[in-house]
Chains A and B, each alone.
Chain A
Amino acid sequence: MVPVHYYFILSALLFFIGVYGFISRRNLIAMLISVELILNAVEINFAAFNRLLFPGQLEGFFMSLFGIGVAAAETAVAIAIIINVYRNFNSDNVDSIQNMKR
């Protein structure tokens, strides 16, 4: 059986790789991909807490499940916004968007 803190260290590493990507990239889609990494790290944490510390219950399981659904919805709306931004500013770089109204 895998010791429980291995999962936590893995998810902490994944979380901060995502944070690094979010800070260092300036492309909107790349930043969104980094946010996906962060969300996945959090969901690993929920599932591992649930399974290894409280195996009789299912709260973390459902938190992960609903997290997956919310993340999918968030991605769809964010990509719609990015496509709209690209259409208006001809760039998907955050620095090119100085004000939301053109």
Chain B
Amino acid sequence: MANLVMFIILAVVILGSAVLCVTTKRIMRAATFLLFVLFGVAGLYFLLDYTYLGAAQIAVYAGGVTMLYVFAIQMVGKRSLQGLVERVKLSRVAFGAILSLVGFLTVVLVLLKNQFMYAACQVADVEVPMKEIGMALVGGDKYQYVLPFEFISVFLLACIIGGLAIARKEEK
């Protein structure tokens, strides 16, 4: 019961912030509402007893990505960041609303028609042990993930170099 109440609070925070995030004209406010959405999603991970995932979400998304957005908004000039210029075309809004409504109805229909979710297990409210996660993350056997772990570190390095190469000022 307590879980359900927490879920409803988190859902209201997430959905409300998401709607405000996509409808507000000012980019800085959109970034702030994105931060609330990310905190709400981290709360959902805590609710699912994936404490490590929630911590990673807060550290990487709320701590890193949002900072990146704020710096980018500050760098991308005065006119558009103060939210003065973004014109929203009504036809585009209508098209987006219709498309997302149709898509949402399709997805919910498919989900609720499907029977797989009635196999949901009753899981006890215990945290997934960190030892199990760590063993699976750096183990080399089946259902263990050392290869993607190493791959993503190389990938992040490539992204750092790529980001630097792209954003660098070209020398004349």
**A residues whose Cβ falls under 8 Å from a Cβ of B:** 1-10, 12-27, 29-30, 32-34, 36-37, 40, 43-44, 47-48, 51-53, 55, 57-59, 61-62, 64-66, 68-77, 79-84, 86-87, 90-93
CB-based closest 10 A-B pairs: A21-B22, A23-B96, A73-B159, A80-B167, A16-B100, A80-B163, A24-B96, A20-B100, A4-B120, A80-B166
When A20-B100, A37-B22, A77-B159 are in contact, do A27 and B166 touch as well, CB less than 8 Å?
no
Pick the residue among B73, B104, B166 that contacts A29 (CB under 8 A): B73
Are the CB atoms of B99 and A33 closer together than 8 Å? no
Q: What does DSSP make chain B's interface, helix, strand, loop or mixed?
A: helix
* Partner of B3 from A2, A18, A25 at Cβ < 8 Å: A2
Complex interface residues of chain B between 74 and 132 (CB less than 8 A to chain A): 75-77, 80, 85-89, 92-93, 95-97, 99-101, 103-104, 107-108, 111-112, 116-117, 119-123, 125, 128, 132
Q: How far is the CB of B28 from chain A (nearest CB, A)?
A: 10
Q: Which residue of B lies closest to A87 (CB)?
A: B169
Docked-complex contact B143 and A20, CB < 8 angstroms: no
A17, B57: Cα distance in complex, Å: 20
